[in-house]
């Protein structure tokens, strides 16, 4: 059985840990409010932009839309973008997404992986460390800390690089893996095709009653062709915002659970301390009584 001093030290240690986790929960909650506000404002914008593109392309044939980002090619070289966090203490947030990415590598892109034609672009230190440690081909480590400055102008340079790689034929398929923010307690790992642009992005079949008339300059074809890369950039930025909000939600829940667990451990330690202290006092009383009785008998 542990001594009273050891138990007191453990109690002090748990109290200190509980204070840290409680503070981290409050910080994550403050960051979550800002991140949640950003993603909730981004979603309608992305949907509206996509709706405009669909309305514009409704009266165009597929052959009239000339964009290198819609070109379907045999998938030989693949780039997978994995969005994780820079720090831990956020539960299974990073591991769940890494497992989804690994599953896609060894099921969907096994042939490219075995041929050495599959690269990973990890944004977030945890994902970078995870895949480097397991021997995967991780490229462009300069993009790992992109989350340290999460604004559109900063992200734009990476998005334009992705578009350039696809247009030049460096990669034939680019997918992005991220945690979608549903609510504070729920983050959903997603795999989304970034390039080539998905078919519904330039869908030329508008729903009945949803088409709108526009005054177009210089032409519908030129505007649609220009909109496609812009939507891809917004799609990439939206994935980063989703991941950021999901990370803060996961960290807040993890720290809340850690604080709760620390409270339960404190109750157990204090009960053990009181029982040990009572046993020590009882033992001392018995020793005193036994000594007194021995003196009387002597």
Of the two residues 239 and 215, the one the predictor is more confident about is 239
* Highest-scoring range by mean pLDDT, 207-221, 236-250, 274-288: 236-250
Residue 55 parent element (H or E): helix 4-57
What was the pLDDT predicted at 273?
87
pLDDT of residue 173: 95
* Strands of the chain, DSSP E: 78-83, 118-123, 173-183, 186-195
Does position 220 have pLDDT exceeding 70, yes or no? no
Tell me if 255 sits within 8 A of 22, measured CB to CB. yes
User: Could you report the per-residue pLDDT of 3-30, keeping only the tens digit for each?
Assistant: 888 888 999 999 999 999 999 999 999 9
Q: What is the mean pLDDT of the segment spanning 235-262?
A: 94
Structure confidence at residue 216 (pLDDT): 62
Rounded mean pLDDT, 267-290: 87
pTM, full prediction = 0.84
For residue 58, is pLDDT > 90? Answer: no
10 Å CB burial of residue 89 (0-12, 13-18, 19+) is middle
Identify the active-site residue in 90, 174, 176, 224: 90
- Structural domain boundaries in the chain: 4-23+260-297, 25-254
Tokens of 46: 């992305």
Predicted confidence at residue 217, as pLDDT, reads 67
Q: What is the per-residue pLDDT for 184?
A: 86
Higher pLDDT, 243 or 3: 243
Q: Do you know the residue count of the chain?
A: 298
Sheet of strand 186-195, all strands in order from the earlier edge strand to the far edge: 118-123, 78-83, 173-183, 186-195
Mean pLDDT of 132-138: 94
Give me the mean pLDDT over the 43-71 stretch.
74
Q: What's the whole-number mean pLDDT along residues 214-238? A: 79
Q: Worst-scoring range by mean pLDDT, 144-153, 161-170, 174-183, 221-230? A: 221-230
Nearest-CA neighbor of 219 among 227, 229, 211, 231?
A: 227
How many angstroms separate the CA atoms of 195 and 79, rounded?
Answer: 10
What percentage of the chain has pLDDT greater than the value 70?
A: 89
- Average pLDDT, stretch 274-279? 87
Q: Using the predicted structure, report yes or no on whether residue 249 has a pLDDT greater than 50.
A: yes
Give yes or no for residue 179 having a pLDDT over 60. Answer: yes
- pLDDT tens sequence across 184-209: 888 999 999 999 886 455 544 444 44
Q: What is the pLDDT of residue 203?
A: 47
Confidence of residue 211 (pLDDT cuts 50, 70, 90): low
The whole-angstrom separation of Cα 279 and Cα 274 is 9
What average pLDDT is seen over the chain? Answer: 86
Give CATH for domain 25-254: 3.40.1380.10
53, 202 contact by CB (below 8 A): yes
Q: Pick 233 or 200 by higher pLDDT.
A: 233
Give CA–CA dist 152/238, Å, rounded. Answer: 10
Active site residue 122: no
Q: What phi and psi values does residue 195 have, to the nearest 5 degrees?
A: -140, 140
């Amino acid at each position: 059985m542990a001594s009273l001093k050891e138990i007191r030290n453990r109690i002090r240690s748990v109290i200190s840990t509980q204070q840290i986790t409680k503070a981290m929960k409050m910080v994550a909650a403050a960051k979550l409010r800002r991140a949640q506000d950003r993603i909730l404002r981004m979603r309608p914008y992305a949907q509206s932009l996509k709706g405009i593109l669909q309305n514009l392309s409704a009266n165009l044939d597929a052959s009239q839309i000339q964009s290198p980002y819609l070109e379907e090619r045999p998938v030989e070289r693949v780039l997978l973008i994995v969005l994780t966090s820079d720090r831990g203490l956020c539960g299974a947030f990073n591991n769940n997404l890494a497992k989804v990415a690994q599953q896609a590598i060894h099921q969907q892109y096994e042939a490219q992986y075995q041929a050495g034609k599959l690269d990973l672009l990890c944004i977030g230190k945890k994902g970078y460390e995870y895949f480097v440690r397991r021997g995967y081909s991780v490229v462009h480590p300069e993009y790992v800390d992109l989350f340290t400055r999460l604004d559109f102008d900063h992200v734009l340079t990476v998005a334009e690089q992705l578009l350039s790689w696809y247009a030049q034929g460096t990669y034939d398929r680019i997918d992005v893996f991220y945690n979608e923010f549903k609510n504070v307690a729920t983050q959903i790992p997603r795999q989304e095709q970034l390039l080539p642009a998905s078919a519904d992005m330039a869908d030329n079949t508008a729903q009945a009653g949803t088409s709108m008339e526009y005054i177009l300059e210089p032409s519908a074809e030129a505007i649609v062709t220009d909109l496609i890369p812009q939507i891809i950039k917004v799609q990439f930025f939206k994935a980063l915002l989703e991941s950021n909000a999901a990370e803060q939600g996961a960290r807040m829940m993890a720290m809340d659970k850690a604080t709760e667990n620390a409270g339960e451990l404190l109750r157990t330690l204090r009960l053990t301390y009181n029982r040990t202290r009572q046993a020590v006092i009882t033992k001392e009383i018995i020793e005193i009584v036994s000594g007194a009785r021995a003196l009387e008998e002597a």
